[in-house]
Structures are given as C-alpha cells and as structure tokens.
C-alpha cells in the first residue's frame, strides 16, 4: 500500500478498515465523454443582422422581439448582440462595406452598430424589413444581411476566439453545452481521486467473493457517502445568475466591453435547475452531518470540519445465480450488483424511519435478492445510513468493478446517484459510455458467431433529456485486475 493510500485508509471507520483488501492497486480516473461530446459536429444556423445608428438599438431589439417572440430573439446567447463595424470578422467586413451605404458607415467614425436580429427561421424577411423601416431614426435605407453562426455555445475560450474570427463575435460563458463543465469535473475529480483506488479495490474484492460463493458473476458494487466540507460556490453562481437576469438595451459602451457584460442572455449555469437544487440540499445536509458527528468531540471540531470524510453506505456482489430457478441462462437481472446495492440503500432509509420492515414473503420466489448474502454485505448493511434525509442515492458515489448494463445504468440514474466510477468497460453491453459499441470483440467464444456489437453507445451518465446527470469516470488500473468477464454478459 502506498503512503497516500495508507493515509486515506487511516481516516476510515473501523468497519471499512476491516473490509478492505490488503493490497490496493493504483490507477487513474478517466472522465467519461458524453454522447454530445463524441457525436455533435459543428451545428450552424442562419441569422439576420442589420445595422443602425447606436441610438436606435433599442427600437431594433423591440422589432426582433415582437416578430420572433421573446425566446426566438434570445436563443443565441453566445453571440454578441451588437458589434462595431471595426469588430466584424474580416470576410463580413469586406462584404458589408460594399453594400448600400456601407462605405460611409465604415469609414467615418460613426456611431453605427451591427445587430444580430435572430434566426432566419423565426423572422419573415418582408415583415422584418417593414418593421425596421418604422424604427425611429434608423434612416432611409434599411439594410439586412444574412450570416452563418454556430448554433451552440463554445466550450472553451479558444473556440470562442476562433468563432469570433470565422463567424461573429462569440462569448465563452464558462459553460459546456455538450457535457459537464470541465471545472466541475476537475473539482470533483480531485476529491474522488484521493480514495477511488480504495473503493474500486473493495468492489473488486466483493466481485470475487460473490463468484466464490457461487451466487453470481465476478461483479461488485460499493456505494459511499462523501462529505466535502464548506462547498460554497452555489451561492456565488446564484448571484451570477441574478446579475445576468437583468436585461437592457445594448449601448456602444457594452459593445466595447469584455466578455461577461453582454446583455443578450446571461444564463451561465453549467447544469440544469436540478443540479443547483442538488447542490443546495447537499450543502444543507452536510451542515447537519457535521453538526451531529462533531458535537461530542469539540476539541477535534476545527480539524474534522476542514476534512473530507467518506463512509460506506452499501456493498453488494452480483447474485444473478442465487436461487435463479426461473431465469434461464442470463440469471436473475434484478440481482445485478448495482441494483442490489441501491436496494440496500433504500432499505436503510426505510429502517431510519422506524417503519416495520415487511418480513412477509409475498411470492414463492423473491426476485429482488436484496438481503445481504455475503458477510461483508451484512456488516455494512447493519450500519445505519449516515444521512438518511435525501432522495434514495442523492449525491452518493457508486464504485463498480464493471461498467453497468443498460438496465442498471438507468436504475443508477433514477436513484439520483451523484457520481459513478467503474473498473472494466463492457463495450458490448455497458450503458454508461458513449463510444460506439464495439464489434468483433467476441473472439472465439462462439456464442453469437460474431454477429453482435455495433450501434451507438448510450452514455447514460450524462443525458440531460433524462432529467438527471451524473459525473462518471472509468478507472484505468496501473496493472490489470483478474476479473475478465465474457463480453456478452450484462453487468
């Protein structure tokens, strides 16, 4: 065991220490890519632009808003709405200066601005032109241009610079439209990397025990609760949102300003509403935890408050072959390791409410094999849930020996797990990764005669349309584990 891992193990509770294997191999966390990050090419759209004296900008905005609707006029928040002629990308400057009264506007030290009106699909040309003509002070000649712009926001400052040169002035709002924001991933990865090796090793040990006991395939799962002290950036981002919510007309000064002061739409959150709500309830919960656990040792308070802590909430091995009578050659899918672990968390939550557990056997065969079967499972099952006040697995962390199957991936997502780390990738059957499914990796197994595989990966760790996203990593071990599975198995 290396020094840093030994130090981590020292901070664990006695049960966790007792369960850990003697050897904890090292490895690296590799963030999972999202489906959008892997597949989305550069999506473009056509927008109308016009030019008007600075004093008319408000009138021009009103026209766009009236015709395209509030949403239509605001759905390109990554584009600077007004820019000076000098700030046009070179190819547009060359084109526009020669159109209409362009020369006089560009040459003079004019107070004219170029203004993005909105997507072409939202703005009927004739209606737009007519309405602009009526804007007070816009002059006799109304000019309308059509330009191509990126549909989605840039995911880095470098990309924003490139697009500003190629398309139109683009603002990087420190958000990633294609996945979790890199800084969010980085922040959590720093915390997770500290002890991921420990929990992966425990998941792998559980996998081996499950196989040895004859109850399932060598697949294991560990769920932990991580408490990170004093995470206060949620307040900051709320303040930024409020500041961004104010809207007003674009002025020459604003057109001169740097990134971040644009009035177009400043929704710079990098997640959905649920994420910020999650962060809020999470910080409230952490407050409860630190108050209840540090009271008896007030002399240690300062120290423990500033330290991150982790506690095991559930551990489970695969049990698909346990009393599997009616499930044929795939075994019992309800007894996959991830589902059993989540179900044990649920039982702990029920227990904490002091509700009598139902001992009644309703069916002859209980398909949810979610009572502890291994000694290790029982040990963890008997400890109470560290913070039994959130929704199921909200903000908990799941470690798996293998990439979970599609069914388990959806179960994990529905349980509102916060983070997931898995050991071996399952390129034919896994549901978490977004890469296209492998083909021709079955080797000589002969089960499928080489016909399986292919198709798109599901990337279920981060699909915003499913209303929940979690951060996911693959664990790249420094030395290979001894848990190969037949690639056709659904972990």
The sign one gets for the Cα dihedral 209, 210, 214, 218 is: negative
Query: Which H or E element spans position 102?
Result: helix 102-107
Query: DSSP assignment, residue 358?
Result: P
Nearer to Zn ion, 1 or 222 (CB): 222
Which phi and psi angles does 61 have, rounded to 5°?
-60, -45
Nearer to Zn ion, 336 or 416 (CB): 336
Nearer to Zn ion, 217 or 279 (CB): 217
CB of 485 to Zn ion, least distance (A): 12
User: And the tokens for 412?
Assistant: 């994990």
CB of 339 to Zn ion, least distance (A): 7
Query: Quick one: which of 60, 185, 196 has its CA closest to 117?
Result: 60
Nearer to Zn ion, 173 or 425 (CB): 425
Q: What is the separation of C-alpha 51 from the centre of its chain, rounded to a whole number of angstroms?
A: 40
CB of 396 to Zn ion, least distance (A): 18
CB of 218 to Zn ion, least distance (A): 14
CB of 431 to Zn ion, least distance (A): 8
Q: Which residues contact 472 (CB under 8 A, 6 or more apart)?
A: 31, 32, 419, 420, 421, 422, 432, 461, 462
Nearer to Zn ion, 123 or 337 (CB): 337
Residue 52's beta-bridge partner residues? 113
Count of CB atoms situated within 10 Å of the CB of 392: 14
Q: Please spell the DSSP secondary structure of 243-309, one letter per residue.
A: HHH------HHHHHS-TT--SS-----SS-HHHHHHHHHHHHHHHHHHHHHHGGGGGGHHHHHTS-E
Nearer to Zn ion, 8 or 398 (CB): 398
User: And the tokens for 359?
Assistant: 């001992």
Q: What are the b/e assignments for 439-465, b being 16+ CB within 10 Å?
A: eeebeeeeeeeeebbeeebbbbbbbbe
d(CA 203, CA 200): 5
Nearer to Zn ion, 82 or 405 (CB): 405
Nearer to Zn ion, 226 or 490 (CB): 490
Interface contacts to Zn ion, rule CB under 5 A: 336, 405, 408
Nearer to Zn ion, 408 or 442 (CB): 408
d(CA 452, CA 27): 30
CB of 370 to Zn ion, least distance (A): 14
Query: DSSP assignment, residue 170?
Result: B
CB of 429 to Zn ion, least distance (A): 8
CB of 376 to Zn ion, least distance (A): 20
CB of 465 to Zn ion, least distance (A): 22
CB of 347 to Zn ion, least distance (A): 19
Nearer to Zn ion, 112 or 468 (CB): 468
**For residues 462 and 469, is the Cβ–Cβ distance under 8 A?**
yes
**For residues 308 and 228, is the Cβ–Cβ distance under 8 A?**
yes
């Amino acid at each position: 065991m290396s020094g840093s891992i030994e130090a981590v193990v020292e901070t664990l509770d006695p049960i966790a220490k007792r369960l850990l294997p003697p050897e904890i191999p090292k490895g690296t966390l590799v963030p999972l890519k999202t489906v959008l990050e892997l597949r989305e090419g550069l999506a473009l759209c056509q927008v109308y632009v016009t030019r008007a004296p600075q004093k008319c900008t408000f009138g021009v905005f009103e026209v766009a808003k009236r015709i395209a609707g509030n949403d239509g006029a605001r759905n390109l928040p990554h584009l600077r709405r007004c820019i000076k002629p000098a700030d046009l990308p070179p190819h547009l400057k060359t084109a526009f200066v020669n159109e209409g009264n362009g020369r006089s506007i560009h040459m003079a030290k004019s107070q004219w601005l170029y203004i993005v009106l909105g997507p072409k699909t939202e703005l009927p040309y004739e209606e737009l032109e007519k309405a602009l003509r009526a804007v007070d002070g816009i002059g006799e000649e109304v000019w309308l241009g059509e330009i191509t712009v990126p549909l989605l926001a840039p995911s880095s400052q470098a990309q924003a610079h490139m697009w500003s040169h190629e398309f139109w002035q683009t603002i990087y709002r420190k958000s990633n439209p294609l996945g979790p924001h890199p800084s969010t991933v980085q922040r959590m990865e720093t915390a997770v990397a500290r002890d991921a090796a420990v929990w992966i090793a425990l998941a792998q040990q559980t996998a081996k025990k499950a196989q040895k006991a004859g109850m399932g395939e060598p697949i294991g799962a560990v769920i932990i609760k991580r408490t990170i002290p004093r995470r206060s950036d949620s307040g900051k981002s709320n303040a930024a949102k409020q500041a961004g919510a104010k809207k007003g007309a674009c002025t020459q000064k604003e057109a001169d300003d740097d990134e971040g002061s644009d009035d177009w739409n400043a929704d710079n959150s990098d997640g959905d509403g649920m994420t910020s709500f999650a962060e809020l309830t999470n910080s409230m919960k952490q407050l409860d935890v630190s108050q209840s656990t540090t009271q008896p040792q007030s002399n240690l308070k300062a120290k423990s408050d500033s330290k991150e802590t982790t506690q095991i909430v559930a551990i489970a091995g695969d049990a698909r072959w346990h009393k599997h009578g009616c499930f044929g050659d795939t075994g019992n899918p309800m007894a996959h390791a991830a589902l059993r672990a989540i179900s044990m968390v649920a039982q702990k939550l029920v227990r904490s409410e002091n509700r009598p557990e139902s001992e009644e056997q309703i069916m002859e065969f209980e398909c949810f094999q979610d009572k502890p079967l291994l000694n290790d499972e029982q040990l963890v099952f008997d400890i109470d849930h560290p913070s039994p006040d959130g929704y199921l697995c909200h903000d908990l962390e799941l470690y798996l020996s293998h990439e979970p199957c599609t069914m388990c991936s959806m179960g994990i997502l529905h349980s509102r797990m916060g983070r997931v780390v898995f050991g071996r990738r399952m390129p034919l059957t896994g549901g978490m990764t977004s890469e296209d499914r492998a083909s021709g990796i079955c080797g000589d197994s002969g089960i499928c005669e080489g016909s399986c595989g292919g198709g798109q990966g599901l990337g279920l760790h981060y699909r915003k349309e499913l209303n929940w996203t979690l951060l996911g990593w693959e664990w790249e071990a420094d030395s290979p584990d001894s848990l190969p599975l037949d690639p056709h198995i659904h972990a």
